[in-house]
Amino acid sequence: MGAERTESVERALSILTAFSIRRPRMTLAELAAETGLHKSTILRLTRSLAVYGFIDRDTEGRFSVGASIWHLGLIFRQDFDTGETIRPVLRELVQLTGETASFFVRAGSDRVCLYRENSPILEKYGVEEGMRLRLGTGASGLVLRRYSGEVLPDLTPFNANGTVSLDATRNPNIASISTPVFSSTGAFRGALTVSGLNSRFTASVRDRFLADVEASARKLGQQMG
């Protein structure tokens, strides 16, 4: 039977995803350690990545992400949403709840925070726009997994609208409520999430927030082609 996937391509992509905000430049040996690939393999793959401008190499031989990625990133953003749609909704949600509002999409087995509006009263707690996190078992992770086609063994965290409300997932002090956003054509676009210190998420407050998030998600979905 023909291969379902392509090994060398996935290895090349694992090289790309080895880079992070904290480590934007790596030597060959570092990349090998990070990816578990043989150095010769990395050399071969990065040569091809470099030809297409997906990876650069400086004079000291260190690798970094190439400009083609940036160009493609802009294509992604303009196709997905320029921010003109999502950001106002997030801001409104912050006003309504006083908490932090974010919009996540799935990227492979991770989730990426596309947009985020921070609560005015709460200092940031680690998540920023563009950040990449494991899907995990948090509220937004569950939403992303369910509505991007995964079959989950347990659907009890979800209410009838597909919303998940959880305490203390990624961060032990943080509660979050996440709901799916569907475009007007019914396609799943991402997870709209409100999160904050769980000390403020009492039962009644939580109910109000949940309604707010679901209302915002509906509104947002209408605006997304």
The site for a copy of itself (CB under 8 A) is made up of: 2-10, 12-14, 16-17, 19-21, 24-25, 40, 44-45, 47-54, 58-59, 64-80, 105-110, 112, 114, 129-132, 185-187
- Phi, psi angle pair for 118, to nearest 5°: -80, 145
- Indicate which single residue of 13, 25, 41, 219 sits in contact with DNA (rule: CB under 7 A): 41
β-pair partners for 178? 164, 193
**Of 50 and 122, which CB lies nearer to a copy of itself in the complex structure?**
50
Which partner in DNA, a copy of itself, none is near 27 (CB below 5 to 8 A by kind)?
DNA
Cβ-defined contacts of 91-99 (< 8 Å, 24+): 91/117, 92/216, 93/117, 93/192, 93/194, 93/212, 93/213, 93/216, 94/118, 94/119, 94/120, 96/212, 96/216, 97/194, 97/196, 97/208, 97/209, 97/212, 98/196, 99/194, 99/195, 99/196, 99/200, 99/209
- Indicate which single residue of 6, 64, 159, 173 sits in contact with DNA (rule: CB under 7 A): 6
Binding-site size for DNA (CB under 7 A) equals 22
| Binding of DNA by 40 (CB under 7 A) | yes
End-to-end CA distance of the chain: give it in Å, rounded.
39
| Binding of DNA by 185 (CB under 7 A) | no
Which partner in a copy of itself, DNA, none is near 28 (CB below 5 to 8 A by kind)?
DNA
β-pair partners for 174? 197
- Indicate which single residue of 21, 22, 59, 61 sits in contact with DNA (rule: CB under 7 A): 61
| Binding of DNA by 14 (CB under 7 A) | no
Say how far residue 193 (Cα) sits from the centre of its chain: 12
Quote the CA–CA distance of 157 and 9 in Å, as a whole number.
36
| Binding of DNA by 59 (CB under 7 A) | no
| Binding of DNA by 51 (CB under 7 A) | no
| Binding of DNA by 77 (CB under 7 A) | no
**What residue ranges bind DNA (CB under 7 A)?**
1-3, 5-8, 11, 27-29, 32, 37-41, 43-45, 61-62
